[in-house]
Amino acid sequence: MSQKNNEQCASREEYQQLVSQLQRYSHEYYVMDAPSIPDAEYDRLFRKLQAAEEAHPDWTVSDSPSQRVGGDALDVFTQVQHRLPMLSLGNAFDDEELEDFNRRNQERLGLSRDIEYACEPKLDGIAVSLMYRNGVLEQGATRGDGSTGEDITQNVKTIGSIPLRLQGGDVPDVLEVRGEIYMPKEGFARLNQTARDKGEKEFVNPRNAAAGSLRQLDSKITASRPLEMCAYSVGYLEIGNAPELPDNHTDILYKLQEWGFLINAQMQVANNIQGCMAYYKKIADIRDELSYDIDGIVFKVNSSAQQQALGFVSRAPRWAVAYKFPAQEELTVLQDVEFQV
Ligand code: NAD
């Protein structure tokens, strides 16, 4: 089933209503950790918004959800300015859109030969930034709106898979590691079982449980929750006297693994876009057997030099794309959500 959406807004009023509607859903999802509609429905409306803005660029308002990343940082936490913006990812919903992504990359790079891609499951959790100074964890922050996040240092320190000190010598003076904090399916089931036993409110899904667990003012609560962190990139870097980082994404992740981070065991390199499609099908087939929730596959141009040449658009890198899976049991999720709100 494809989620491709060719719906259009019939009028400017309809477009403006759509903006308000999506703003409300974004606030519920990113700020309140309490979504009221399934992600697939949000994605459908978001594509309708993008289609309207493409057809009528003069309608686009500066506070449109298409012009920004995530949601505002809660002011009960100290706010953190990201040294480099934490962006979102562009989406693809079918093979044709994935091929378009590859074609655009080839055109921009002036290449007729294949591009090598790093392939990784798209973990359905919360993006986090971890700042290490001289190898010691100094600060942990949420993505927030991409420029300003929330300081959750005490909470991230309770997560076992986050190194408090980088292993080995030769570490950069300042290193920002980015990754996803998520709740494995088994831990989520146990947490909800405990909530049921106590007659307390259950979490809608593992992402929601991870978000709620991370944004706690009392880090003892975070410590009691089964959270894991998987590293997927390096952000800000002051290399100092340490050796330069490798020149491609996958080897950078292996370096992070040497420093003590968990990286995704399913990560693979594809020599071309056909390899990416084969990888997508392979992971879609084993999705239910994975111990964590994923909502798609992320493909990243592997070469750091090519990434740099491709650069960014306003809310996402040009060199990466999230190929989303079709919605699973959309109605069941909706019903669960309805019980929650
Ligand atoms: P996104 O989830 O489409 O992609 C960006 C995020 O992917 C990154 O910030 C990162 O956290 C994550 N990610 C996971 N694995 C990764 C990997 N291997 N490499 C790089 N990044 C990885 O974008 P978004 O801006 O976080 O969220 C948009 C999505 O959130 C929507 O498509 C929708 O599904 C959902 N949403 C739902 C509602 C709702 O009301 N249900 C509201 C807003 C957003």
Dump strand ranges (E) for 15-116: 79-81, 90-92
Q: What percent of the chain lies above the pLDDT cut of 70?
A: 94
pLDDT, position 330: 52
Distance CA 228, CA 226 (A): 7
Which residue's CA is the closest to the ligand 1 atom numbered 3? 89
Q: From 28, 29, 178, give the residue whose CB has the most ligand 1 atoms within 8 Å, as the site to mutate.
A: 29
> Are 302 and 151 within 8 A, CB to CB?
no
pLDDT digits (tens, 9 = 90+) for 257-283: 999 999 999 999 999 999 999 999 999
In the reported structure, the alpha carbon of residue 29 is separated from the centroid of ligand 1 by a whole-number distance in angstroms of 11
**Ligand 1 pocket by C-beta < 6 Å: which residues?**
25-26, 28-29, 35, 37, 39, 42-43, 69-70, 88-89, 120, 122-123, 127, 143, 180, 232, 298, 322
Q: From 22, 88, 234, give the residue whose CB has the most ligand 1 atoms within 8 Å, as the site to mutate.
A: 88
Which residue's CA is the closest to the ligand 1 atom numbered 5? 88
Which residue's CA is the closest to the ligand 1 atom numbered 35? 39
Please report, for residues 138, 174, 177, 183, 323, the alpha-carbon distance to residue 236 in angstroms, rounded to integers and kept in the order given. 13, 8, 8, 26, 26
Buried b / exposed e over 310-335, threshold 16 CB at 10 Å, is beeeebbbbbbbbbbbebeebeebee
Within 10 Å of residue 182's Cβ, how many Cβ atoms?
A: 25
| Cβ-proximal residues to 227 (8 Å cutoff; 6+ apart), any chain | 158, 159, 181, 182, 183, 187, 210, 213, 214
Average pLDDT, whole number, for the chain? 93
pLDDT digits (tens, 9 = 90+) for 167-209: 988 999 999 999 999 999 999 999 999 999 999 999 989 999 9
Which residue's CA is the closest to the ligand 1 atom numbered 36? 39
The secondary structure of 34-47 as a DSSP string is --SS-HHHHHHHHH
Atom nearest to 300 CA in ligand 1:
19
Name the residues annotated as catalytic. 122
Which residue's CA is the closest to the ligand 1 atom numbered 44? 26
Atom nearest to 36 CA in ligand 1:
40
pTM: 0.93
Phi, psi of 128 (to 5 degrees): -135, 150
In this predicted structure, the answer to whether residue 3 has a pLDDT above a threshold of 70 is: no
Span 212-238, mean pLDDT? 97
In this predicted structure, the answer to whether residue 336 has a pLDDT above a threshold of 70 is: no
